[in-house]
Amino acid sequence: MSPRLVLVTGGAGFIGSNIVAALAESGEWDVAVCDRLRAADSGKWRNLAKHPIADFVAPEALADWLAWHEDELEAIIHMGAVSSTTEPDADRIVHANFTLSRDLWDWAAEHGKRLIYASSAATYGDGAQGFGDADDLASLSALRPLNAYGWSKALFDLYARRNADRGRAPAQWAGLKFFNVYGPNEHHKGAMRSVVCQKWPEAARGETVKLFKSHRDGVENGGQTRDFVYVRDAVEVVLWLLARPDVNGIYNLGSGRARSFRDLAEALFHALGQETRIDYVDMPAGIRDRYQYFTQADMTRLISMGYKRAFTSLEEGVADYVHMYLSQSDPYR
């Protein structure tokens, strides 16, 4: 059987390029990528260099490309976004994260194609309402994100739910609320890289790693927690959805377990075979009022839909990342 055609937007980015790699390795898909590579010295092109792709599409040419490949395209995996939580241009954020997503949804719905897209745990705001991923309109409307990035993702989740309820949906649609994803192919992200990637050079040199002090009563320094999920697990969920076209809705994608930044640093030093060295520094005053002290994905709904694969522990994921990628001369997947 000939490979099927899938389009991955943001396919040269962090999560997107790991999805492209897995799809290309499967032999079941011809993979087209829509993205911008920016400056050659950013290294973003290296995220794609080890795997064959069927086509590369500039974002401004996407509408024409979709028209030309309407008959053969089976699915769109939409990972393209402005993902910085500190991006100052709200117009840029809403255009990239809502408008393009809306247009892809409408196209997929009109032409009977499948759409899997990236939402975000940033939609939960400060977590006061918990991290349950109920995707009815009332539950989605009640969320209060803390930044424009989270709001743009929440806005599209609402668009998707509202249109699905009205019978205007793609052949399959699934939104994934990614929590704190880490792993290979994130070097180009700069300040938005995972803490593992950012702290790796210091730890590898045997230096002390700096973490934020806690500014909340009852939380120890370094005791702030996140749901850290290895990118390999994120990719497995996407592949599972491609194999399960009957699954629709918006789902959390995390490990299901909150771990502290201190745990993460200890896992990093352990992977290096070194004694843990941590120094705690004041959190910048400008982010203290919107800093999340706890995130943990409730994975009940995805598991109830039949997803059975175990998620990688923080220690196993950090060790794999360090040994297979960060410590290698060629750290790209």
| DSSP codes, 298-333 | --HHHHHTT--PPPPPHHHHHHHHIIIIITSSS---
What's the CATH class of domain 4-182+228-256+298-311? alpha beta
Q: What is the pLDDT of residue 1?
A: 64
Q: Of residues 44, 113, 117, 149, which has the active-site annotation? A: 149
Which pLDDT score, from 0 to 100, does residue 287 have? Answer: 84
CB-based contacts of 135, cutoff 8 Å, min separation 6: 157, 161, 175, 249, 250, 251
- Output the tens digit of pLDDT for each of the chain's 333 residues: 678 999 999 999 999 999 999 999 999 999 999 999 987 777 899 999 999 999 999 999 999 999 999 999 999 999 988 877 667 788 888 888 999 999 999 999 999 999 999 999 999 998 888 999 999 999 999 999 988 999 999 999 999 999 999 999 999 999 999 999 999 999 999 888 999 999 999 999 999 999 999 999 999 999 999 999 999 999 999 999 999 999 999 999 999 999 999 999 999 999 999 999 999 999 998 888 878 899 999 999 999 999 999 999 999 999 999 999 999 999 999
Position 77 scores a pLDDT of 98
The active-site residue, picked from 189, 213, 291, 332, is 189
| pLDDT given at position 40 | 72
Please confirm, yes or no, whether 189 is among the known catalytic residues: yes
Q: Are 186 and 168 in contact (CB under 8 A)?
A: no
